C-alpha cells in the first residue's frame, strides 16, 4: 500500500466476542454462535442460521487451505517483481487470469495505460565532511524513488542541507537551498508503530516521500533525498511513489540519514550522487476482473481485491501478492464447497497501485454507472500478518448489520470492526467515495513497515498460518456480503 493518510481512523465500535464466549456458561446447543451476543431482529433476518453455518464452513475450509500461499509463491518466486509496465507484471496478469478461469470464473482483462519507470544505477558517497580522513569517503545506502529523474551518468556533487520538515525548508529559503541536495530527515514514529499504529506513523512520514522532492525543486535544489519511510534498522532503503519533481529523488536508509544529520551539525557535507532511472513511454497494463456470477442477483457485485503490481526491489510478497492471493482464494473456497453466492463475487487484481493508481482510475471510469449495484468492495493491501478484523467506510447502521459476519471470525480473532472516514484501500477509493460500503482487512502492522517497499519484501515474510487466517477473513466477509438477505444500506 502507498501514499495515504487513509489510516487516521476513528473507532466507533469494536466487537471482541472471543473473551465473552470464553466466560459464558456452556449451553446445550452445539453451535459456536450460542455464546455470541443476541442478534437484533434485523441481523437475524439478514443472517439466517443456514448462512451462519456456511460462514463457519468457509472459515474452517480456509484455515486448512494452502491455495493462497501457492499463489503468492508463484507470483513472487516464479514471476518476481512486478512493476507497472514490466514483462513480469504482464506475466502476472496472464497467470492470475488463467488461475481464475480454471476455477470457472468469467475473466476479463481491462486495458490500462500505465506509467513505465525503470531503475538505473544508484550510488552515493560523502566526499567532504567534518573529521574526514584524507582519501576516505563514507558510503551512503540509498535507492531512487519512483518518478525520480536522472543525474548525469558521471554523478553530481553538491552540498547537502538537512531539514526535519517543510517549515525548516521554507525558513531556509531559496538562497540556502538552490544548487544543493536537500535531505528530509523526518523520523518514522517507531513507538506508534510498535504500539499498533503503524499506518498512522506511515501516514505522517510518507508526506515527505510524496511531496518533499517537489518542495525542494521549487527552491532550486539539484536533488532531494528522504529518510526511508520504515521502522526497522536493517540499513535498507525503502522506495515508493513520489510526485514528479523534475529532479533526482531518492531514499537513504535511516542509518545514513542519521549519519548525514550528525555530520551536517558539525560542518559542511558534500555528496557525490548517481541515480540514473529512466521514464519510458507509457505501457499497456491490465486489471484482471473475474466474476463468479450470483445465483439470484448477478447484477449486484461484491468486489474482493488486491494489487498485482509491486515495487521492483523485492518480489512484492506482502505488498501485495498476498492481497491478490486471498481475494483469489475466496473464489476457490466457494467453488470447493460448492457454494454459489446469491450476488456476484468479483475478484479484481488491480494494476498500477504503486505508481499512480491508473488501474483503479480506469475501473472507476468504466464502471461508475454500476457503482449503485456494487454492494460492497474489499481490498487487502496491508500485508499478510495476523488479521485483527476490518477497517470500514460505511454508515454506522451498515457496520452494525455486519456484526454477525465479524463474529463468525471469532476463533481467528478477526472481530475488530473499525469505522473510518477514509477509504480503507487505495484501489477502492473511488467506490468508497461514491458510497459503496468499503472494507480493508486490518492486519497486525507491527512488522509491515520493516520490509515495505524494500528488497526484503519476499516470500519468507509470509507466515502461512497467518495468510490462511487472512484468506478466511476475506472469504467469510465476502460470502456474508454476497449472501445476506439485503444489501448493506448506503
Ligand atoms: Zn500495496
Residue 330 Cα to ligand 1 midpoint, Å, equals 19
Residue 82 has pLDDT above 80, yes or no: yes
| 353 catalytic per annotation | yes
Is residue 21 over pLDDT 90? no
Kindly tell me if the per-residue pLDDT of 28 is higher than 80: no
- Is the model's pLDDT at 40 over the cut of 70? yes
Higher-confidence residue of 6 and 295: namely: 295
Q: Say whether pLDDT at 209 is over 90.
A: yes
Q: Write the pLDDT tens digit of every residue in 236-256.
A: 999 999 999 999 999 999 999
Query: At residue 225, does pLDDT exceed 80?
Result: yes
Model confidence at 36, pLDDT cuts 50, 70, 90, reads: low
How far apart are the CA of 422 and the centre of ligand 1, in A? Answer: 16
Q: How far is the CA of 324 from the centre of ligand 1 (A)?
A: 10
Q: How many angstroms separate the alpha carbon of residue 340 from the centre of ligand 1? A: 30
383 CA from centroid of ligand 1 (Å) = 8
- Taking 50 as the threshold, does the pLDDT of residue 29 lie above it? no
| % the chain with pLDDT above 90 | 92
Residue-wise pLDDT tens digits, 108-153: 999 999 999 999 999 999 999 999 999 999 999 999 999 999 999 9
What separation in Å is there between the alpha carbon of 215 and the centre of ligand 1? 25
The pTM of the full predicted model, rounded to 2 decimals, is 0.92
**Rounded distance from Cα 96 to ligand 1 centre (Å):** 17
Q: What is the pLDDT of residue 22?
A: 36
- Predicted confidence at residue 38, as pLDDT, reads 82
Print the SS3 string covering the chain: CCCCCCCCCCCCCCCCHHHHHHHCCCCCCCCHHHHCCCCCHHHHHHCCHHHHHHHHHHHHHHCCCCHHHHHHHHHHHHHCCCCCCCHHHHHHHHHHHHHHHHCCCEEEEEEEEEEEEECCCEEEEEEECCCCCCCCCEEECEEECECCCCCCCCCEEEEEEEECCHHHHHHHHHHHHCCCEEEECCCCCHHHHHHHHHHHHHHHHHHHHHHHHHHHHHCCCCEEEEECCCCCCCCCCCCCECCCCCCCEEEECHHHHHHHHHHHHHCCCEEEEEECCEEEEEEEEEEEEEEECCCCEEEEEEEEEEECCCCCCCCCHHHHHHHHHHHHHHHHHHHHCCCCCCEEEEEEEECCCCCCCHHHHHHHHHHHHHHHHEEEEEECCCCCCCEEEEEEECCHHHHHHCHHHHHCCCCCCCCEEEECCCCCCHHHHHHHHCCCCEEEEEECCCCHHHHCCCCCCCHHHCCHHHHHHHHHHHHHHHHHHHHCCCCCCC
Please report which confidence band the pLDDT of residue 37 belongs to, taking 50, 70 and 90 as the band edges. Answer: low
Residue 23 scores a pLDDT above 80: no
Residues 273-301 have a mean pLDDT of: 98
At residue 129, the pLDDT reads 98
* Residue from 122, 204, 332, 353 carrying the catalytic annotation: 353
What is the band of 450 on the pLDDT scale with cuts at 50, 70, 90?
very high
* pLDDT over 60 (residue 193): yes
Measure 20 CA to ligand 1 centroid, in angstroms. 35
Kindly give the distance from the C-alpha atom of residue 380 to the centroid of ligand 1, in angstroms, as a whole number. 8
Question: What is the per-residue pLDDT across 365-404, written as a single tens digit (0 to 9) for each?
Answer: 999 999 999 999 999 999 999 999 999 999 999 999 999 9
Compute the distance from residue 198 Cα to the ligand 1 centre, in Å: 14
pLDDT tens profile 259-279: 999 999 999 999 999 999 999
Task: Tell whether the model's pLDDT for residue 163 goes beyond 80.
Answer: yes
- What confidence score (pLDDT) does residue 35 get? 52
Q: 381 alpha carbon to ligand 1 midpoint, in Å?
A: 5
Mean pLDDT of the chain: 93
**pLDDT above 50: residue 426:** yes
Euclidean distance between CA atoms 341 and 346, whole angstroms? 11
Model confidence at 26: pLDDT above 70: no
Per-residue pLDDT band at 431 (split at 50, 70, 90): very high
Residues of the chain above pLDDT 70, percent:
92
User: What mean pLDDT is predicted for residues 232-237?
Assistant: 94
Residue 308 CA to ligand 1 center (angstroms) comes to 9
Find where cell 536522472 sits.
150
Residue 33 reports pLDDT greater than 60 = no
CA of 318 to the centre of ligand 1 (A): 8
Amino acid at each position: 500500500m502507498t501514499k495515504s493518510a487513509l489510516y487516521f481512523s476513528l473507532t466507533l465500535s469494536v466487537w471482541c466476542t472471543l473473551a465473552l464466549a470464553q466466560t459464558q456458561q456452556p449451553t446445550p446447543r452445539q453451535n459456536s454462535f450460542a455464546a455470541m451476543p443476541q442478534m437484533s431482529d434485523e441481523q437475524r433476518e439478514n443472517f439466517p442460521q443456514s448462512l451462519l453455518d456456511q460462514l463457519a464452513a468457509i472459515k474452517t475450509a480456509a484455515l486448512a487451505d494452502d491455495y493462497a500461499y501457492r499463489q503468492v509463491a508463484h507470483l513472487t518466486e516464479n514471476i518476481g517483481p512486478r512493476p507497472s509496465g514490466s514483462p513480469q507484471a504482464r506475466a502476472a496478469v496472464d497467470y492470475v487470469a488463467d488461475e481464475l478461469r480454471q476455477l470457472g470464473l468469467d475473466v476479463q482483462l481491462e486495458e490500462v495505460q500505465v506509467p513505465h519507470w525503470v531503475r538505473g544505477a544508484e550510488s552515493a558517497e560523502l566526499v567532504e565532511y567534518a573529521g574526514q580522513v584524507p582519501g576516505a569517503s563514507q558510503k551512503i545506502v540509498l535507492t531512487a524513488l519512483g518518478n525520480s529523474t536522472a543525474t548525469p551518468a558521471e554523478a553530481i556533487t553538491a552540498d547537502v542541507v538537512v531539514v526535519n520538515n517543510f517549515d525548516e525548508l521554507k525558513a531556509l529559503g531559496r538562497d540556502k537551498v538552490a544548487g544543493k541536495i536537500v535531505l528530509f530527515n523526518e523520523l518514522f514514529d517507531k513507538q506508534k508503530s510498535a504500539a499498533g499504529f503503524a499506518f498512522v506513523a506511515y501516514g505522517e512520514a510518507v508526506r515527505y516521500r510524496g511531496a518533499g522532492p517537489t518542495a525542494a525543486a521549487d527552491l532550486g535544489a539539484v536533488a532531494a533525498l528522504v529518510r526511508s519511510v520504515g521502522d526497522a534498522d536493517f540499513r535498507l532503503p525503502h522506495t515508493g511513489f513520489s510526485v514528479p519533481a523534475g529532479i533526482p529523488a531518492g531514499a537513504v536508509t535511516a542509518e545514513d540519514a542519521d549519519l548525514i544529520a550528525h555530520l551536517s551539525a558539525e560542518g559542511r557535507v558534500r555528496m557525490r550522487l548517481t541515480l540514473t532511472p529512466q521514464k519510458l513511454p507509457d505501457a499497456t497494463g491490465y486489471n484482471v476482473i473475474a466474476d463468479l456470477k450470483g445465483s439470484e442477483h448477478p447484477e449486484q457485485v461484491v468486489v474482493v481485491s488486491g494489487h498485482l503490481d509491486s515495487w521492483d526491489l523485492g518480489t512484492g510478497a506482502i505488498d501485495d501478492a498476498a492481497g491478490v492471493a486471498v481475494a483469489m482464494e475466496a473464489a476457490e473456497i466457494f467453488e470447493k464447497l460448492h457454494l454459489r453466492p446469491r450476488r456476484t463475487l468479483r475478484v479484481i487484481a488491480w494494476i498500477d497501485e504503486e505508481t499512480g493508481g491508473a488501474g483503479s482510475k480506469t475501473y472507476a471510469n468504466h464502471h461508475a454507472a454500476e457503482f449503485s449495484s456494487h454492494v460492497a468492495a474489499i481490498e487487502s493491501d496491508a500485508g499478510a500478518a495476523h488479521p485483527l478484523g476490518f477497517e470500514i467506510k460505511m454508515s454506522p447502521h451498515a457496520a452494525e448489520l455486519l456484526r454477525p459476519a465479524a463474529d463468525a471470525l471469532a476463533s481467528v480473532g478477526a472481530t475488530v470492526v473499525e469505522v473510518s472516514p477514509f477509504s480503507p484501500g487505495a484501489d477502492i477509493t473511488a467506490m468508497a467515495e461514491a458510497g459503496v460500503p468499503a472494507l480493508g482487512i486490518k492486519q497486525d502492522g507491527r512488522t509491515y513497515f520493516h520490509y515495505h517497499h524494500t528488497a526484503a519484501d519476499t516470500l519468507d515474510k509470509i507466515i502461512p498460518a497467518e495468510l490462511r487466517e487472512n484468506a478466511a477473513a476475506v472469504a467469510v466477509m465476502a460470502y456474508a456480503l454476497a449472501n445476506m438477505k439485503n444489501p448493506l444500506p448506503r
